Each structure stands twice: as structure tokens, then as C-alpha cells.
Amino acid sequence: MMPVRCFTCGAVVADKQEKFEESVRRGDKPAAVLDKLGVKRYCCRRMFLAHVGIVSELVKYGRF
């Protein structure tokens, strides 16, 4: 689950996650995709590049 805002500057980043992942999955370079989406600050770019989605793995071990 992507954080809604950048940890450093507070800019909203979660609304761009789907477009970013879809474009990278199609084979586009991550840097070009972030430029296209208007993500210029390196702190915000870090949020996309360093994000690891582990929620789907953790749900397997929950008691529901």
C-alpha cells in the first residue's frame, strides 16, 4: 500500500501509483514515467522507486 503523501515534503503521490506501475509494466523506463507524471522532487521519486508492496503477502498470515 503506497503512502498517500511523500514522507519528506508532504506532496500527494498515491494518486499517481497506478499509472506509474502500469507504464513500468509495459516496459517504459521509470525515470521517464515519473517525468511524464510530473514528479520532479527526488524525495517524491524515491517514494515510487523504493516502494515494495507487501500487503498481499501479509494478508496470508492474518486471522480474519
Domain boundaries, the chain: 14-59
| pLDDT for 60 | 84
pLDDT of residue 64: 61
Q: Are 13 and 48 in contact (CB under 8 A)?
A: yes
Radius of gyration of the chain from its Cα atoms, rounded to whole angstroms: 13
Extract the C-alpha cell encoding 51: 516502494
Class of domain 14-59: mainly alpha
For 1-58, the pLDDT digits (tens) are: 889 999 999 999 999 999 999 999 999 999 999 999 999 999 999 999 998 888 878 8
Whether pTM > 0.85 for this model: the answer is no
Residue range 55-63: mean pLDDT, rounded = 80
User: Rounded to an integer, what distance in angstroms lies between the CA atom of residue 23 and that of residue 34?
Assistant: 10
In sequence order, what are the beta bridge partners of 43?
none
Kindly state the cell numbers that stand for 43: 524525495
Number of H-type helices and E-type strands within the chain = 4, 0
